[in-house]
């Protein structure tokens, strides 16, 4: 089973591999830089070499590693300057992943800020197409579903599938589904039957062949709440029964699972990994 956490790169980026190995991860996700700012220091060649060597020496498959876009970019922005800056950030992140040998970059789809879904989707397609044209084809861009917050794009499987269909070349793109976001957007995952029905709808509208990474999180918010608040595995509104089905199904399809769960007095990262293995 390929399962792990979002891990810290504090100190140097190769420390991410150390952190993942120490927790017993068989997959992991990172930010390649500080996610809360626009500026990014260039990757040091020594750190890149160390990252690759440590990963090769570990039992973690390179194809189970993924990077996540920083928080500030908005690829659906109707405003020219924020859009251009966001596109530049995406292109830079893809190039950083390419240097590190990370095969996937997860991108939030952003907010159209009231301009409407059509306008937001047009900007998204423009951004992703340009980013694919301007970078090497060794990194796949993954579109992450949203929780359905106001003005957000891509919470609905049908809409996400429509966006994906318009992106060329198709091999440069895939999806990352977040279970908390899906549930908050109204896709029920609480029981075996409801989770199976949700996955059937996903396969019909998007297709499992496009699902490259699963963000495995429980939800603080209720079904259809549009609340993007992650919870410990099994302790949220989705619960153990539904998440057990999700884990088993995704594991059978050999898709890496990344947890983005809280750390508090109830449970830490290792505790959540242990719970996933129990439910598997």
Catalytic residue among 6, 15, 68, 187: 68
Catalytic residue among 14, 92, 93, 144: 144
d(CA 207, CA 89): 28
Active site residue 230: yes
| Contact of 66 with 105, CB cutoff 8 Å | yes
| Contact of 260 with 235, CB cutoff 8 Å | no
At which residue do the structure tokens 């793109």 appear?
A: 173
Residue-by-residue DSSP string for 57-75: HSSS-GGGEEEE--SS--T
| Contact of 222 with 253, CB cutoff 8 Å | no
Catalytic residue among 15, 215, 232, 267: 215
d(CA 277, CA 25): 11
Active site residue 215: yes
Catalytic residue among 6, 108, 112, 232: 108
Catalytic residue among 6, 15, 190, 230: 230
First to last CA, the chain: 9
Active site residue 44: no
Catalytic residue among 15, 96, 181, 232: 181
d(CA 247, CA 19): 23
Active site residue 178: yes
Apex 14 CA angle, 12 and 16, nearest 5: 95
Active site residue 203: no
Active site residue 187: no
d(CA 76, CA 226): 19
Catalytic residue among 71, 133, 158, 165: 71
Q: Which residues pair with 149 in a beta bridge?
A: none
Catalytic residue among 47, 192, 240, 260: 260
Active site residue 260: yes
Active site residue 144: yes
d(CA 189, CA 242): 5
Q: Which residues are catalytic?
A: 36, 68, 71, 108, 144, 178, 181, 215, 228, 230, 260
């Amino acid at each position: 089973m390929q399962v792990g956490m979002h891990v810290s790169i504090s100190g140097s980026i190769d420390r991410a591999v150390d952190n993942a190995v120490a927790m017993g991860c068989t997959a992991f996700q990172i930010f390649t830089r500080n996610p809360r700012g626009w500026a990014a220091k260039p990757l040091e060649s020594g750190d890149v070499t160390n990252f690759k060597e440590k990963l090769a020496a570990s039992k973690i498959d390179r194809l189970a590693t993924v990077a996540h876009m920083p928080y500030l970019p908005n690829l659906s922005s109707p405003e020219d300057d924020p859009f251009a800056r966001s596109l530049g950030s995406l292109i830079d992140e893809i190039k950083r992943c390419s240097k590190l040998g990370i095969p996937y970059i997860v991108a939030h789809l952003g907010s159209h800020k009231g301009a409407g879904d059509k306008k937001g989707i047009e900007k998204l397609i423009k951004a992703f197409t340009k980013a694919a044209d301007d970078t090497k084809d060794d990194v796949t861009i993954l579109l992450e579903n949203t929780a359905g917050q106001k003005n957000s794009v891509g919470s609905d499987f049908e809409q996400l599938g429509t966006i994906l269909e318009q992106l060329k070349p198709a091999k440069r793109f895939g999806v990352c589904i977040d279970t908390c976001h899906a549930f908050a957007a109204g896709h029920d995952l609480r029981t075996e039957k409801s989770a199976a029905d949700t996955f059937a709808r996903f396969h019909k509208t998007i297709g499992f062949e496009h699902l490259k990474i699963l963000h495995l999180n429980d939800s603080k918010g209720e079904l259809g709440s549009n609340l993007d608040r992650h919870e410990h595995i099994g302790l949220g509104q989705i619960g153990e029964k539904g998440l057990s089905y999700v884990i088993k199904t995704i594991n059978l399809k050999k898709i890496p699972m990344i947890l983005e769960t809280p750390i508090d007095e109830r449970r830490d990262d290792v505790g959540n990994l242990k719970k996933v293995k129990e439910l598997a």
